[in-house]
Structure 1
Amino acid sequence: MRKLLLFPLRLSVGWGLSPRLLGMTAMVMLVLLRLTIGWHFFSEGVDKRDAGNWSAAPFFANAQGPYANHYRNLVWDADGQYRLNKEAIKYTFALYRDQVSQHYGFTDEQKAKANLNYIEAVKQYDWIVSENAGDLEEFELGRQRIAKLDNDSGERSLRDGVDSLGGQRETIRREWLGKAKPTFDQIETLWKNYEGDQQALATDDQLAANSSIEMIKPRTGEIDTSVIDRIVPYFDMAVGLCLLIGFMTPLASLAAAGFLASVFLSQYPPTTGPGSSNYQLIECMACLVLASTGAGRFAGLDYFLHLFVRRSEAEVDRDDE
């Protein structure tokens, strides 16, 4: 039973003994590889977190290949149905108005101003929709055409089998999304401004006593960028930190490899040039090397963790005898 309990810990640091065929040069190279990839992940995570407005949406929206639809559906409100639903927008704005009031403990006067902000935001939303009515009408008319292209597997296979036809299909999609893009950009700006206006009502004392409260986008799918964008920066930082200190390196490396493999598949087959996903594939393979060699046991905390596991197993074996 004790050995069974140690099994997950054993997997997390590497199963076998430290490879005895590796020379000092190979060990140093493994440590440098682990530190390089670890720093890459950690710094990427910090940059994404500090950027404040980082999103995976543009990357997913431009996915290509056989898995393109899956990645595109990960974009929050990919088809604009939420942003073009006035009742849904009003509900979200009203909910945030009430959340801000409760969070900061607004006075009656502040609540009245918060409600005025809400009314003004709804008016601005109506103005945006009316100003772009022509483009939005074309956008809605094109929705069925795009749905047919996505759902007609026979036509999709035929088109994607010929480069020119596959490119034509992508051109149709880009033109369709382009009709609504100015509207969506204006609504996104309205969203940010409304959030800022409501936050600005809080006094210095209220801000000091309470953390800021974000207006959360309601999910438009089981999982989308409204969730992914909040997770990825901290995932990158956690993986990077584990690799830098050599802690549970096999698990961290496998997590990194899985993440990089998903990036590679989103742009499959890969093209050449700066935007190629071949770079992610190469780093993915390097992460698998780190996982399979238990590289955290060289100048890392996994050395001590592995030593603890081995001693514990030895004690279990003696007790069994």
Structure 2
Amino acid sequence: MRIPLSEFVWRTHSVAKFLLFPLRLAVGYGLSPRILGYIAIAMLVILRITIGFHFLTEGTEKVRQGNWSAKPFFANAKGPFASEFRQMVWDYDGATRLDPHQTMVIWATYRENIANHFGFDDKQKALAQDNYITAVEQYEYVIELDANAIEEYTLGLDRIAKLDADPVRDGVSSLGGQREMVRKELNSLVSATLQQIDMIWENYETAQNQLATDEQLAQHSPYKLVRPRLAMMDTSVIDRIVPYFDMITGWLLILGLFTPVAALAVGAFLFSVFLSQFPPTTGPGSSNYQLIESLACFLLAATGAGRFAGLDFFLHLIVRKVYGPDEAARTV
């Protein structure tokens, strides 16, 4: 029995449609622009909330830990902007901590400030002085013990400064790598020394706060030994700002409130992280992840994603009412 040509064509077309159905799903064929618009909006909302939740949890965890610091990240910066990022680490070269005079001035100032903060009596002030003397003795012991390494390190810093000032080395990658190798070797000379000094700082702060009575602690919070700011923006400031920056921007993105501003801030922050590790490596430690999330934030800012299932929707209504639909569409 012969099959009519029209039926043969229909069957062939049906088989082709069946075989090509996975391809249709893969390329999205058949989705009308209107449906695609709804899907895109849903994805923007999910993306906004996901990034917001990421930053909120990161900030909450940093606050919970209480000792989070950007120091390790900036200290290991690489690439063309490595020097700028390293200088954002408080006392990145150890010059302040390895200077006995500066260290003792900072500790003595802290001794007086914490006494005023809690309102120490004469006995507590005497004990605070004992803590100061103990810290100074420990510090001097460490400095004396590692005097040779510190001297070699100090001389090496001068060598690094000369290498940094040599324009020829900036144009030759192998010479730039040599400079980084010299820097790492120098840091290894005093890394253990600086760790011991940091521990003395922490123990000194703890010992002074332990002098406060329960009544004094109930009236006043523990007094931190804040590192003196050595630059307009370094980790002594960044470490206090970033946890709350993460939480605030996280909430703004989740709620869809002032989304363009929050997304741009987060995107710029993530992009700076990417630059600090440029060029990126592969693997779990790659900064490509920060780059991708940064671009996603710029997408949220560009599309005003907070207007979809977010509080910016109501702000957008106010803008439309004040400026009119046409002008609002151009400005939002």
1:153 Cα shift?
2.2
What is the alpha-carbon distance in structure 2 between the residues aligned to residue 20 and residue 199 of structure 1? 64
Residue in 2 that maps onto 1:7: none
Residue among 114, 117, 124 paired with 1:110? 124
What is the alpha-carbon distance in structure 2 between the residues aligned to residue 143 and residue 30 of structure 1? 50
1:171 aligned counterpart, secondary structure: helix
What is the alpha-carbon distance in structure 2 between the residues aligned to residue 306 and residue 176 of structure 1? 56
* Alignment partner of 1:276 is 2:290: no
Structure 1 runs (4+) greater than 6 angstroms displaced: none
Residue in 2 that maps onto 1:49: 63
- Report the AA paired with residue 40 of structure 1: H
Residue in 2 that maps onto 1:309: 319
Residue in 2 that maps onto 1:70: 84
Q: CA distance change for structure 1 residues 227 and 20 in 2, over 3 Å: closer, same or farther?
A: farther
* Alignment partner of 1:128 is 2:142: yes
* Alignment partner of 1:181 is 2:191: yes
- Report the AA paired with residue 190 of structure 1: I
1:49 Cα shift?
1.7
User: What is the alpha-carbon root mean square deviation over aligned residues?
Assistant: 1.7
**8 Å CA contact 2:169, 2:176 repeated in 1:** no
- Report the AA paired with residue 262 of structure 1: S
Residue in 2 that maps onto 1:249: 259
Cα shift readout 1:174-194 (whole Å, capped 9, x = no counterpart): 110110111110110000000
1:25 Cα shift?
1.7
Alignment length, in residue pairs?
A: 294
What is the alpha-carbon distance in structure 2 between the residues aligned to residue 70 and residue 153 of structure 1? 17
Cα shift readout 1:37-62 (whole Å, capped 9, x = no counterpart): 00111111111222222111111111
Residue in 1 that maps onto 2:16: none
Cα shift readout 1:189-242 (whole Å, capped 9, x = no counterpart): 000000000000000010001112111100122221111111111111111110
Residue in 2 that maps onto 1:149: 163
Identity fraction in percent = 55
What is the alpha-carbon distance in structure 2 between the residues aligned to residue 298 and residue 155 of structure 1? 52
- Report the AA paired with residue 305 of structure 1: L
What is the alpha-carbon distance in structure 1 between the residues aligned to residue 103 and residue 151 of structure 2? 19
**8 Å CA contact 1:219, 1:226 repeated in 2:** yes
1:172 Cα shift?
1.2
What is the alpha-carbon distance in structure 1 between the residues aligned to residue 257 and residue 69 of structure 2? 28
Cα shift readout 1:114-152 (whole Å, capped 9, x = no counterpart): 111111111111011011112112111211111112221
* Alignment partner of 1:33 is 2:47: yes
1:21 Cα shift?
8.4
Residue in 1 that maps onto 2:6: none
**8 Å CA contact 2:77, 2:86 repeated in 1:** yes
What is the alpha-carbon distance in structure 2 between the residues aligned to residue 100 and residue 136 of structure 1? 31
TM-score under structure 1 length normalisation: 0.88
Structure with max Cα Rg: 2
Indicate the larger mover: 149-158 or 40-49.
149-158
TM-score under structure 2 length normalisation: 0.85
Cα shift readout 1:97-129 (whole Å, capped 9, x = no counterpart): 111111111111111111111111111110110
Residue among 168, 171, 179 paired with 1:169? 179
1:20 Cα shift?
7.8
What is the alpha-carbon distance in structure 1 between the residues aligned to residue 83 and residue 238 of structure 2? 17
* Alignment partner of 1:235 is 2:245: yes
Indicate the larger mover: 199-208 or 270-279.
270-279
Residue in 1 that maps onto 2:274: 264
Cα shift readout 1:10-44 (whole Å, capped 9, x = no counterpart): xxxxxxxxx98862222111110001100111111
Cα shift readout 1:289-316 (whole Å, capped 9, x = no counterpart): 101111111111001111112112249x
What is the alpha-carbon distance in structure 2 between the residues aligned to residue 89 and residue 28 of structure 1? 56
Cα shift readout 1:56-85 (whole Å, capped 9, x = no counterpart): 111111111111111111111111110111
What is the alpha-carbon distance in structure 2 between the residues aligned to residue 151 and residue 122 of structure 1? 36
Instruction: Name stretches of at least 5 consecutive residues in structure 2 with no aligned partner.
Output: 1-32, 328-332
* Alignment partner of 1:295 is 2:295: no
Residue in 1 that maps onto 2:94: 80
Instruction: Name stretches of at least 5 consecutive residues in structure 1 with no aligned partner.
Output: 1-18
RCO (CA 8 Å, sep 6+): is it higher in 1 or 2? 1
What is the alpha-carbon distance in structure 1 between the residues aligned to residue 267 and residue 36 of structure 2? 23
- Report the AA paired with residue 35 of structure 1: I
